[in-house]
């Protein structure tokens, strides 16, 4: 057999420690924002029945799946998104929980698509959903959550915004304009390209469907009005002081066929940036997946880590906040230097007791010259070096950044470090 | 198409919030113990080339894999364990990092095996590895890490222990007893069953290989001696004060063919419990996977969440510690009660500002009677209820457990909550 290539599969990532810390920085912001808003974390399986995705999205989704037949002859797929599993679990288990449910999830998803900037074959997705509440207050609560998470990462209303629309206004337009209701999806696909196509091309396509570019533009203007159908969501976000982030944009229809009401899309205000997050109301999905056994209104928000990660790198505020967070990750409180091999057992006891006190401590596993051990301490970014030598139990503690040295002894070391560094963040 | 069943695939889990919080409690202990010992988190892809696992474990591993051919005609597999990816990444990237590497990883793994108690088809695995250090100090450091993590979860030396052996002592026995070196694996398989088989059956099998039960038993006794080959690891753990957890047990050989030195297994002292964790030295794996391009000594520890989770449930100390941790998860600081619908906008602003101050706050999204809102606050376990009514900006704050009520106003609310609850753990 040939040697396996030492690289990951195309579109998959090896997150070495710095990249993993970046991931964890984003996860922490997602978790903290969700927790502050009373969302509970849950998680489903990575692998599901392929039928779950067929049932939600139709046969065409299978072309984007990593799917196969398992050893038990089951058609299974790596999850391409989190919502179908949520709908499945809620349909089966909702009686165990008080409504509305406010749940969030962070997990890997998989799509067989051509990898490119902002798109990988395995990526992390944060979903937050409110199930069992039909009021537009739930829509606003989720949009506020998305804004909170982005602000926690350092984004401001100068960096990002959310475009807001509602599927129902387009259903009403189709009705009022006398279009063929069977053509609603085709019509929404034209609207979806509103900003990207020339007015003449749009007009031709719309005429084929029984309306005009001018009629649609006029309708959009009324939908944007202060007393229009999106007013309650906007008013809610305004009351929270988040109005600067919000743009009514009827042209946002979102590609996914299952949305039934409010739809929204977070985007960067930098030129050419892709959508960071999106979501909307899907009042029929749980009913569809359960064949009508359970019908519950629902609204959800999804944010992936790939576009977001690129945007953090490109935006000064979030980039600096991330760098500051990374500097704290893994920062060692102390490096124990074994200056006298005969004292290694004492040094080991010291390492163990500091760790048990909640300190992050490392040391040179193999015997090495004192100078080498100090180099290792510096390279690891340790805040102090604790020198165990022939004067044991007397110890020298050097604050490596301040180039200060104090003398203490083994019994008083924890207190000495508390004085130099502050108390540890947590004790085990 | 038939409705998809509303259950997960066999051997896969739906972690609703309480189960997910249990998972996070274990993850937090793993991460904290690793961080205190200077291990850096990293993560690899969920999907790898099937050849990576063939190369490490031989063709027989494929029988346990979820594997398939992807749309690009690649033979791929859901990872059954984390070590092969580590070896791949280290072989490719080790020059970017100072040795020894101390890395850890927490991720989903997948095995197509019959689900049973303690064994699922998708499970979480914690691996910690030290790469580039051949001294037995690395072996001891990893075993100490395993003990630290279990202690952080509330286990004591009355609950768990680690059995310690070394593959090299058996290689020496094979040499000294003049056994056929090609039969070493067959011989180790007999040793692996030492405790479970009758002495006569063992003796028959060992005689077929050219030795006897008595000869092996005598050899084991010498290996257990204080000055035996395992003495340095035991002395290191003794120096740390962890000797109570350690048992020399030459009969532990671990099934995986790739171990080359120290091997160890964590187990519960409760009758009949399975191994909680295991590991050992694998000095040749990175060389094997890179066809000799990179040779680095390595030692690793792996712990899964399934057996461990069952053991937490069955052991009073860890179970109580977990319950205490779960009671803190998602505990809301405040439930904002909208007693006067005309004040909803003010209530929304209050909710938003409390969350921005780091408080965990929820409220009834839809208009509801005050009594209903208080019921929701109690059901959610909120610590306080903040009542926004016609007296605005005056507010009532009720401490729900203490049944105390204080009066404040909107501008002073954050300070009132700080006085009632202490400062929030973190501000975004």
| Cα–Cα distance measured from residue B206 to residue B198, given in angstroms and rounded to the nearest whole number | 12
CB contact under 8 A, B355 and A148: yes
pLDDT digits (tens, 9 = 90+) for B262-303: 999 999 998 876 799 999 999 999 999 999 999 999 999 999
Q: What is the pLDDT of residue B1?
A: 46
Q: Is the pLDDT of residue A323 over 70?
A: yes
pLDDT digits (tens, 9 = 90+) for A338-352: 999 999 999 999 999
Residues of chain A with CATH 3.30.930.10: 17-44+82-325
Could you tell me which CATH number the domain at B332-421 has?
A: 3.40.50.800
A328: Cα within 13 Å, side-chain hemisphere: 9
Q: What is the pLDDT of residue A181?
A: 84
Q: What is the pLDDT of residue B123?
A: 98
Tell me, yes or no, if B10 comes closer than 8 A to chain A by beta carbon: yes
Cβ-count burial A371-399 (b if 16+ within 10 Å, e if not): eebbebbeebebbbbbbbbeebeebbbbe
| Cα–Cα distance measured from residue B103 to residue A243, given in angstroms and rounded to the nearest whole number | 44
CB nearest A14 (choices: B37, B44, B289):
B44
Tell me, yes or no, if A242 comes closer than 8 A to chain B by beta carbon: yes
pTM of the full predicted structure?
Answer: 0.96
Tell me, yes or no, if A6 comes closer than 8 A to chain B by beta carbon: yes
Q: Which residue of chain A is at minimal alpha-carbon distance from B289? A: A3
pLDDT digits (tens, 9 = 90+) for B56-68: 888 888 999 999 9
Q: Is the pLDDT of residue A3 over 70?
A: no
pLDDT digits (tens, 9 = 90+) for A120-177: 999 999 999 999 999 999 999 999 999 999 999 999 999 999 999 998 888 888 888 8
Q: Which residue of chain A is at minimal alpha-carbon distance from B292? A: A3
Residues A233, A140 contacting (CB under 8 angstroms):
yes
DSSP output for B173-211: HHHHTT--GGGHHHHHHHHHTTTTS-HHHHHHHHHHHT-
Residues A164, A259 contacting (CB under 8 angstroms):
no
Residues of chain B with CATH 3.40.50.800: 332-421
Q: What is the pLDDT of residue B113?
A: 94
- Give B76's pLDDT tier (boundaries 50, 70, 90): very high
The size of chain B, in residues, is 428
Given the DSSP bridges, would you call strands A246-248 and A160-166 parallel, antiparallel or unpaired? Answer: parallel
pLDDT digits (tens, 9 = 90+) for B322-374: 999 999 887 899 999 999 999 999 999 999 999 999 999 999 999 999 999 99
Range B17-44+82-325 classified under CATH 3.30.930.10: yes
Q: What is the pLDDT of residue B329?
A: 87
Q: What is the pLDDT of residue A1?
A: 46
Query: Mean pLDDT, to the nearest integer, of B31-44?
Result: 97
Residues B104, B40 contacting (CB under 8 angstroms):
yes
pLDDT digits (tens, 9 = 90+) for A243-258: 999 999 988 887 666 8
- Give A427's pLDDT tier (boundaries 50, 70, 90): low
Q: What is the ipTM of this complex?
A: 0.95
| CA dist list (Å): A238 to A279, B112, B249 | 19, 52, 68
| Cα–Cα distance measured from residue B414 to residue B391, given in angstroms and rounded to the nearest whole number | 18
Q: What is the pLDDT of residue B88?
A: 96
The size of chain A, in residues, is 428
Percent of chain A with pLDDT over 70: 97
Residue-averaged pLDDT of chain A: 93
Tell me, yes or no, if A244 comes closer than 8 A to chain B by beta carbon: no
Query: Mean pLDDT, to the nearest integer, of B57-82?
Result: 94
Tokens of B78: 């859901």
CB nearest A51 (choices: B1, B85, B240):
B1
Q: How many angstroms away from the CA of B198 is the closest CA of chain A?
A: 36
**Which value, in Å, is the radius of gyration of the alpha carbons in chain A?**
28
Q: How many angstroms away from the CA of A179 is the closest CA of chain B?
A: 30
| Cα–Cα distance measured from residue B380 to residue B400, given in angstroms and rounded to the nearest whole number | 11
Q: What is the pLDDT of residue A256?
A: 65
Q: Is the pLDDT of residue A225 over 80?
A: no
- Which range (A375-384, A385-394, B167-176, B283-292) has the least confidence? B167-176
- Which range (A262-276, A298-312, B306-320) has the least confidence? A262-276
């Amino acid at each position: 057999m040939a040697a396996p290539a030492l690289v990951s599969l195309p579109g998959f990532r090896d997150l070495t420690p710095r990249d993993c810390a970046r991931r964890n920085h984003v996860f922490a912001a997602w978790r903290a924002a969700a927790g502050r808003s009373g969302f509970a974390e849950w998680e489903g399986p990575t692998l599901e029945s392929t039928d779950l995705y067929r049932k939600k999205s139709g046969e065409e989704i299978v072309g984007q799946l990593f799917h196969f037949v398992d050893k038990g002859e089951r058609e299974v797929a790596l999850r391409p998104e989190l919502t179908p599993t949520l709908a499945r679990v809620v349909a089966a288990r909702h009686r165990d929980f008080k409504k509305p449910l406010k749940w969030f999830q962070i997990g890997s998803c998989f799509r067989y698509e051509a990898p490119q900037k902002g798109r990988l074959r395995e990526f992390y997705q944060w979903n937050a959903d409110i199930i069992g509440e039909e009021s537009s207050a739930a829509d606003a609560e989720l949009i506020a959550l998305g804004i909170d998470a982005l602000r926690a990462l350092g984004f401001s209303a100068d960096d990002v915004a959310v475009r807001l629309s509602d599927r129902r206004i387009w259903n009403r337009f189709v009705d009022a304009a006398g279009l063929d209701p069977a053509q609603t999806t085709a019509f929404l696909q034209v609207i979806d390209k509103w900003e990207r196509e020339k007015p003449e091309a749009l007009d031709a396509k719309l005429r084929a469907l029984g309306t005009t570019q001018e009629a649609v533009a006029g309708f959009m203007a009324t939908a944007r009005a202060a007393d229009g159908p999106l007013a309650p969501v906007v008013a809610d976000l305004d009351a929270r002081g988040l109005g600067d982030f919000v743009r009514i944009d009827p042209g946002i229809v979102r590609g996914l066929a299952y949305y039934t009401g409010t739809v929204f899309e977070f985007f960067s205000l930098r030129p050419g940036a892709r959508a960071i997050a999106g979501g909307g109301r899907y009042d029929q999905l749980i009913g569809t997946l359960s064949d009508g056994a359970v019908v519950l209104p629902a609204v959800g928000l999804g944010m992936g880590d790939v576009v977001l990660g690129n945007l953090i790198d490109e935006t000064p505020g979030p980039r600096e906040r991330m760098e500051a967070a990374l500097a704290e990750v893994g920062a060692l409180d102390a490096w124990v230097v074994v200056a006298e091999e005969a004292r290694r057992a004492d040094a080991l006891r010291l390492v163990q007791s500091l760790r048990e006190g909640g300190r992050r401590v490392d040391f040179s596993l193999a015997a090495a010259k004192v100078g080498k051990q100090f180099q290792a301490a510096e390279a690891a970014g340790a805040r102090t070096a604790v020198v165990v030598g022939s004067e044991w139990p007397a110890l020298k503690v050097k604050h490596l950044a301040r180039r200060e040295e104090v003398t203490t002894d083994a019994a008083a070391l924890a207190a000495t470090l508390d004085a130099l560094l502050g108390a540890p963040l947590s004790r085990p």
